[in-house]
Every structure is written in structure tokens, then in C-alpha cells.
Amino acid sequence: MPVAASPAPAQLELLAEEAMHCRECPLWQGATQTVWGEGPARARLMLVGEQPGDKEDLAGRPFVGPAGQLLDKALQRLGWPREQLYVTNAVKHFKYVLRGKRRMHKTPAQREAEACLHWLESEIGIVRPQAVVALGATAARSLLGQAVPVLANRGLWLQRADGLPVLVTLHPSALLRLRGEDREQAFLRWIADLRVAQERVRLATA
Ligand code: URA
């Protein structure tokens, strides 16, 4: 059966399987596996991060490491079950530099994000979310096709050429770099950004 004729979960599964063999940029060489998105195939909202981190690379699932734990904490505060969201990344392989035995995150190059873009666009095309949240600059650039200053645009809805609304906010790793009261304040502001997205999809279906 052609991919487009099968139900959305099967389409996602087929693409995930295909993406496991992706060699379209060199990042697969150092990574354990492709980390595909997860969540309902017809989720109302899609969250897009940058790329899997060390823990995600090993687990094969997005946002299960420290950044993911912070995301889970924010969603809990919002009373928003993660199971309702489709969570994915702009880049599907972990990019890192070795420091001793530690694999330290390295920001993906523009050409790597571009090579991966068709996977993200396929996810969007299948899930057809009502809105998307871009977590950080890499996700925002992939989703919107141009560099977007995150701090100047956070909490705002931007629109893609296809009409899909994209809310830009910080990546949770940016919050993890802060300490004490600064982190707490930043966390509250981040929750406020996420609430804007929560309200939009809630109102659209109320
Ligand atoms: N950071 C991301 O951008 N994505 C993940 O899946 C984990 C950490």
C-alpha cells in the first residue's frame, strides 16, 4: 500500500523505519541510532527540539534526558499530559564532540539541519498539528525557513508559508545552564510561553 494511502500511525512507522537508514549527512556515523519523533499520529500540537542528546541517542527516544525531564516538569505544572503531544527534533541524529569519554552536545550545522528537514516536514505532513512549538533557534530556523531571534520572538505566534502557526520559545537546555533563582524565574517564563500554545490548541477544539 502506498505510504500516503495508509493510516497516519502506519505512515509514521514506515518513515521512522526509513529514517533509521538515513545517510544524508555525516551525523549518523557517530550516533547510535536515528531518534524519531513520538506521540499520537494526530496530535494537536507538535513540539520540536534541536537534536537528540546523549541519553536520547542511547534510548532512541526524544527528550528523555535532563532537558526532557525539565520539559516533563513544565508539562506537569500545566496539567498537560505529554502523551497528548507529538515530540520530535529538527535533526534526528546526535551531534557531539568527545571530551575524554564524555559526549558533549555540539550544535548541528545549517547543512545538517537542512538535510534532515524533509523528515520533519514529513512528520508535520502526516500529523497535521494545529500548531507547533519551536524549542530554540535550530527548531525555529528549520520550521520557519529563516533565522529567528528567539528572545525577541518568544511567546509569539509566527506563521509559516503553509499557514501553520509556530510559537517560538527557549530550548530547555538554555534553562538548565542557569542556576538558582535565575533558573526558577526563567522556568516560570518558559511555562508561560508553553501555556500560550496550550491555550491555542485547547480553544481551537473547545
Ligand atoms: N534536546 C533536544 O533538542 N532534543 C532532545 O530530544 C533532547 C535534548
pLDDT at 118 over 70: yes
Ligand 1 near 53 CB (within 6 A): yes
The rounded Å distance from CA 57 to ligand 1 centre is: 10
Residue 206 counted as domain residue:
no
Share the mean pLDDT of the chain.
96
67 lines ligand 1 (CB under 6 A): yes
Q: 53 alpha carbon to ligand 1 midpoint, in Å? A: 5
Q: What is the CATH number of the domain that holds 87?
A: 3.40.470.10
Query: Is the predicted pLDDT of residue 206 greater than 80, yes or no?
Result: no
Residue 47 has pLDDT above 80, yes or no: yes
Is position 2 within any domain? no
Share of the chain above pLDDT 70, in %: 97
Ligand 1 neighbour 108 (Cβ under 6 A): no
**pLDDT (0 to 100) of residue 4:** 64
Report the separation in Å between the CA atom of 172 and the middle of ligand 1, taken as the mean of its atom positions. Answer: 8
Q: Looking at residue 2, what is its pLDDT? A: 59
Q: Yes or no: say if 165 and 129 are a contact pair by the CB < 8 Å rule.
A: no
Please tell me the total count of domains within the chain: 1
pLDDT digits (tens, 9 = 90+) for 134-193: 999 999 999 999 999 999 999 999 999 999 999 999 999 999 999 999 999 999 999 999
Structural domain span for residue 66 = 8-198
Ligand 1 centroid – CA 192 distance (Å): 20
Give the per-residue pLDDT at 129: 98
Residue 3 lies in a domain: no
User: For residue 1, is it within any domain?
Assistant: no
